[in-house]
Amino acid sequence: MPGATFLTQLAARDRALFTRCLVDPAAPRSRRMAWTGITHQGGVSCSVLAATIPLSLGGAIGDAARHTLSILILSHLVVQLVKRTVTRPRPSNVLDCATLVREPDHFSFPSGHSAAAMAVAFGYAMAFPSLALPLVIVAFLVGASRVVLGVHYAGDVLVGQLIAVLAGLVVRAIA
């Protein structure tokens, strides 16, 4: 079956990239702490606060926050649906590796942190194009942190970010 062969090869490449990017648990504490700090920017608290605090300000920022919150909710629903359908195990359950942060659940695909960070970045980037580059860079760093810290494969991150962008385009189309 050609499709299965392609997916098997893709999974093998994903695992190989993962092992190259993984931070050694014996790495300097400052490096581990920096990546941990970055990864938390895609967590529930930061992403929800980034999308809700500006709601009370009104004007352009309030409108952007409303759209961003919609993107965040839509992308989260899609991520959770895909996670519970695909049920790809996390790298630590398949490979001999240690994670450097707590795993939020048992499933790896797609990355919720990566989707959340990109949802917030994309939502505000659409409203404020001059901020697009720094916002997207932060979102990409959050995604990279998930691989470096050992909780996701690169493919999980890319699909999570893609889900957020697609959710952003849907919200923009109906807004």
Instruction: Please state whether the peptide bond connecting residue 134 to the residue before it is cis, i.e. omega within 30 degrees of 0.
Output: no
Q: What is the pLDDT of residue 4?
A: 58
Is residue 108 classed as helix, strand or coil in its secondary structure? coil
Measured CA to CA, the distance from residue 123 to residue 168 in angstroms comes to 6
Q: For 27-174, which CATH class?
A: mainly alpha
Task: Supply the pTM of this predicted model.
Answer: 0.88
- Mean pLDDT for the chain? 88
What Rg, from alpha-carbon coordinates, does the chain have? 17
Q: How much is the average pLDDT of 15-30?
A: 76
Tokens read off for 114: 């990566």
**Tens of pLDDT along 78-102?**
999 999 998 888 888 777 777 666 7
Tokens read off for 109: 């695909």
**Tens of pLDDT along 43-63?**
889 999 999 999 999 899 999
CA 136 to centroid of chain Cα atoms: 11
Residue extents of the structural domains in the chain: 27-174
Measured CA to CA, the distance from residue 71 to residue 172 in angstroms comes to 9
Tokens read off for 111: 């990355």
Is residue 107 classed as helix, strand or coil in its secondary structure? strand
Of the chain, the percentage scoring pLDDT greater than 70 comes to: 92
User: Crossing angle of helices 59-86/154-174, nearest 10°?
Assistant: 130
